[in-house]
Structure 1
Amino acid sequence: MMDSSPHKVYHVHGFDSRQYLEHYFSDKPDMAFGDDVLKFPIDNLRHVFAVGHINGDILIDLSVGSFIHHLYSACEFFKNIIVLKANNRCIMELKRWVDDRTGAFYWGHTSSLLQEKEENSDQFQVQEAKVRSAIQHVVKYDLEKENMTDPLVLPPADCVIITGLLDYISKDQDDYIRHLRKFSRLLKPGGHLILMGGLDKTYFTVGKDKFHSFTYNEDFVRKALVGEGFIIDYCKVKERTAVSDLIDYKAVIFIAAHKEK
């Protein structure tokens, strides 16, 4: 169960979306999470998409905050990306970047991660433009509704990406599985799920506020996926290298799976 400490809850209380990006995704010298939350997702997403099985018309992204670097590879394999966000501040932050407006968060420091294999100095600008073009809709969701985007009805997705969200909205194991089941309904039969999160994590910090995180291990998340009818195609776990008390995960996990038809 969620602990009794006065931690806030992501989808209930919201947070400063720009400060979240500055803490965990920026190019500041004291940003400790580059290997774990920038390089690790980009490398693994590039790998699973390159295999060629995960592609189609529609990808739905369910991720915490307003980061976009995990969509660099996805836009090469999906025509349309629909992004779902829990609160207006995250929506505004993301739209500022999508519309290329003054004051949008800077992602140029991730260009070196894209260019490791491409070796093309223009690759980052091209990739940014592709992501912006692919993001067709940014939609607010409400977890309390049966159709969480009501009154909008989303088309079935070929792939759903969930990055960190299940960690922060789930209070216990049953809650995690209930949310996983709800999100998996967004998929077409046989659709693919890409799931990323932090293992053995109890909190994360934004500004002066601490937020709840559901604590789980690799065995739990594997069993949860199999229990919901998924076949796991790829799994990678990376032990934490970051030194910071902003967040207390022990490792990061990346899983690609597909739903049995």
Structure 2
Amino acid sequence: MDSGSRKIYHVHGFDSRQLLEHYFSGNTENGFLEDSLLFPIENLTKIFTDGHIKGDVLIDLSTGSFVHHLHAACEFFKHIIVLKVQDRCILELKRWLDTRTGAFDWGHATKLHVEIEGSSEQLEDKEGKVRSAVQHVMKCDLEKENMTDPIVLPPADCIISAWLLDDISKNKDDFIRYLRKISGLLKPQGHLIFIGSLDMTYFTVGKDKLHVLTYDEDFVRKALVGEGFAIDYCKIKKRTAVSDLTDHKALIFIAAHKEQ
């Protein structure tokens, strides 16, 4: 399948459960445990426990229906609002939030959080905090002037965007345009946490190969600065995953604050 015929995440969708099974399960054989789980968890735990990023409202704008990136955030924000561009991802996430039969088991990720924090907290209590903090899960459309129309969101103290801009941006102009839209949801001096994959050209879910915007560290840094952000923290992790499901070379984690 050539790049022109690859599916586009927010247009064609994918099997949200298979995405979790491929990239976010506790399987240690393909290396995604380190790339997709451990890397975000370690860095999110660090920046939140440093104490500079906290507040009332956190908005999550990420690909798929994963929740492991919210475990650290729920300790520092009163309200978490999750926005999704795909209905299937909303349904998958709500299945876990409502503790329904058949929900994806995030116990392995919760255990990593507890170990990294050095906490003696029970896994059930930790997951309960996440469920309590996530107060709204709703559909959004980044092409609309108000992406959650007719609902108007409160200004956010922090936004987490994990892999979404990689997957919905057809080109670099799109990336910057969507970044500008996301930035508009932040309070002045609000924080943006960006997680993405460097030098990637595709990812696979089931039998489908999906489009990804290919970019490097320099592009992301310039895009953020160009939209009025100051970068406070940046970590790069070289790929450890041994799999042909995707071809990323490295992962990037950036925490920035809005200057303008």
Mapped partners of 2:235, 2:55: distance in 1: 24
Q: Residue 5 of structure 1 aligns with which residue?
A: 4
Mapped partners of 1:118, 1:30: distance in 2: 25
In structure 2, give the amino acid aligned to 1:238: K
**8 Å contact from structure 1 (residues 198, 252) kept in 2:** yes
Q: Residue 177 of structure 1 aligns with which residue?
A: 176
Q: Secondary structure at the match of 1:142?
A: coil
Mapped partners of 2:216, 2:92: distance in 1: 31
In structure 2, give the amino acid aligned to 1:45: L
Alpha-carbon RMSD: 1.3
**8 Å contact from structure 1 (residues 240, 249) kept in 2:** yes
1:1-261 correspondence runs (5 A): 4-28=3-27, 30-120=29-119, 122-261=121-260
Q: Secondary structure at the match of 1:47?
A: helix
Mapped partners of 1:118, 1:87: distance in 2: 32
**8 Å contact from structure 2 (residues 193, 254) kept in 1:** yes
CA shift digits 1:47-94 (9 cap, x unpaired):
001111100000000010000000010000000000000111100000
Runs of 4 or more off by more than 6 Å in structure 1? Answer: none
**8 Å contact from structure 1 (residues 159, 187) kept in 2:** yes
Q: What is the percent sequence identity of the aligned residues?
A: 69
Mapped partners of 2:177, 2:64: distance in 1: 21
Offset at residue 111 of structure 1 (A): 3.4
Mapped partners of 2:108, 2:120: distance in 1: 13
- Structure 1 length-normalised TM: 0.96
In structure 2, give the amino acid aligned to 1:13: H
In structure 2, give the amino acid aligned to 1:230: F
In structure 2, give the amino acid aligned to 1:207: G
Aligned pair count reads 259
Mapped partners of 1:9, 1:114: distance in 2: 32
- Structure 2 length-normalised TM: 0.96
In structure 2, list runs of 5 or more residues that go unmatched.
none
Please identify, of 21-30 and 91-100, the stretch whose mean Cα deviation from structure 2 is larger.
Answer: 21-30
In structure 1, list runs of 5 or more residues that go unmatched.
none
Q: Secondary structure at the match of 1:81?
A: strand
Q: Secondary structure at the match of 1:138?
A: strand
Offset at residue 144 of structure 1 (A): 2.0
**8 Å contact from structure 1 (residues 24, 32) kept in 2:** no
